[in-house]
Amino acid sequence: MDTLDLFKQVRKIEIKTRGLSRNIFAGQYHSAFKGRGMAFSEVREYQFGDDVRDIDWNVTARFRRPYVKVFEEERELTVMLMIDVSGSLDFGTTQRTKRTMATEIAAILAFSAIQNNDKIGVIFFSDHIEKYIPPKKGRKHILYIIHEMLDFRPESRKTHIAAAIEYLTRVMKRRCIAFVVSDFYTQDSFLKEIRIANSKHDVVAIQVYDPRAKTLPDVGLINVKDAETGHEMLIDTSSAKLRKAHTQYWQKRTETLKDTFAQSNVDWVSIATNEDYVKAMMLLFMQRGQIRQ
């Protein structure tokens, strides 16, 4: 992609996603995420009804009467976009690829964040950390992020989600909101890593997938290629047994994901490339906002 085409693509995504974030997502984002982080403010004497878990035992021992820590909502949050840049995201059988949808969703989240005066950073990952963009504010920073999402060329085409989440836990010292945008096309478990990450941060998973991953059409003999390994094979889609096995494999993977997110208490949404991601994201935000009330 040459410089002029890239500029046009960045501008096109900015116009589309900034408008959506301003007119549709801004209020929902605020209620769903703003103030989720709590910062230590002061200590005061224990009062009846206070949560005993908030007792500051060092101060209590010093003054020989119970004191509790007082927390207040952080006015400024940090949002980290964890973007899967592995080869499988290039796949698409509808009007757009998984990568295109992931880029638009990430851009909406970025513009929603800066409208709330939050910092935004990015971690591009494959089977290792491809690039880390430290959190900053401002439109210029957002446009740089969109530019990178459109033009970035990863070193690897494979995926290792556990390594990416472990890196998030290590590099982010203060609590943040982390959106993991991926097709979660992996055989490896990341339960341990995401459970630890979500205990320190607020992790939200956004799965993008192509409808053909769910249901294989009957179109006869086709040549398929694994985008991550490069392995090719000829399959006969007219076989009902093959199509059934394909669907069962998808269902098994989905159940594993559901179980992983349930055990780690991570909110998640799954969106097909032929679906309206605006509705799906709005529903996710609304559900989180209702839980907070």
Whether residue 56 sits in one domain with residue 24: no
Number of domains comprising the chain: 2
The mean pLDDT value for 129-142 works out to 94
Helix (H) or strand (E) holding 228: none
**Facing residues of 45 across strands?**
67
DSSP category for residue 22:
I
Contact 179, 82 (CB under 8 A): yes
DSSP per-residue string spanning 122-138: EEEESSSEEEEEEEE-S
State the Cα–Cα distance between residues 231 and 248, nearest whole angstrom. Answer: 21
Whether residue 86 sits in one domain with residue 21: yes
Whether residue 63 sits in one domain with residue 167: no
Whether residue 117 sits in one domain with residue 64: no
Q: How confident is the model at residue 224 (pLDDT cuts 50, 70, 90)?
A: confident
130/31: higher pLDDT: 130
Whether residue 115 sits in one domain with residue 43: no
Whether residue 84 sits in one domain with residue 50: no
Q: At 271, which amino acid appears?
A: I
pLDDT digits (tens, 9 = 90+) for 225-240: 777 777 888 888 888 9
Whether residue 244 sits in one domain with residue 206: yes
State the Cα–Cα distance between residues 184 and 194, nearest whole angstrom. Answer: 13
In this predicted structure, the answer to whether residue 291 has a pLDDT above a threshold of 80 is no
pLDDT recorded at residue 91: 85
pLDDT recorded at residue 24: 64
Residue 276 burial class via C-beta count within 10 angstroms: exposed 0-12, middle 13-18, buried 19 and up:
exposed
Whether residue 221 sits in one domain with residue 120: yes
State the Cα–Cα distance between residues 258 and 250, nearest whole angstrom. Answer: 12
pLDDT recorded at residue 51: 80
The mean pLDDT value for 149-176 works out to 94
What residues make up the domain containing 25? 3-34+76-292
Q: What is the 3-state secondary structure (H, E, C) of 265-289?
A: CCEEEEEECCCCHHHHHHHHHHHHH
Helix (H, G, I), strand (E, B) or coil at 163: helix
pLDDT digits (tens, 9 = 90+) for 21-46: 876 676 677 677 755 455 556 788 88
Q: What is the mean pLDDT of the chain?
A: 87
Last residue of a domain, one of 26, 56, 73: 73
Tokens 């556990």 belong to 162
Name the residue among 207, 152, 144 with its Cα closest to residue 135: 144
Whether residue 52 sits in one domain with residue 15: no
30/150: higher pLDDT: 150
Helix (H, G, I), strand (E, B) or coil at 58: helix
Whether residue 267 sits in one domain with residue 225: yes
Q: At 174, which amino acid appears?
A: R
State the Cα–Cα distance between residues 10 and 178, nearest whole angstrom. Answer: 23
Whether residue 162 sits in one domain with residue 68: no
Whether residue 171 sits in one domain with residue 62: no
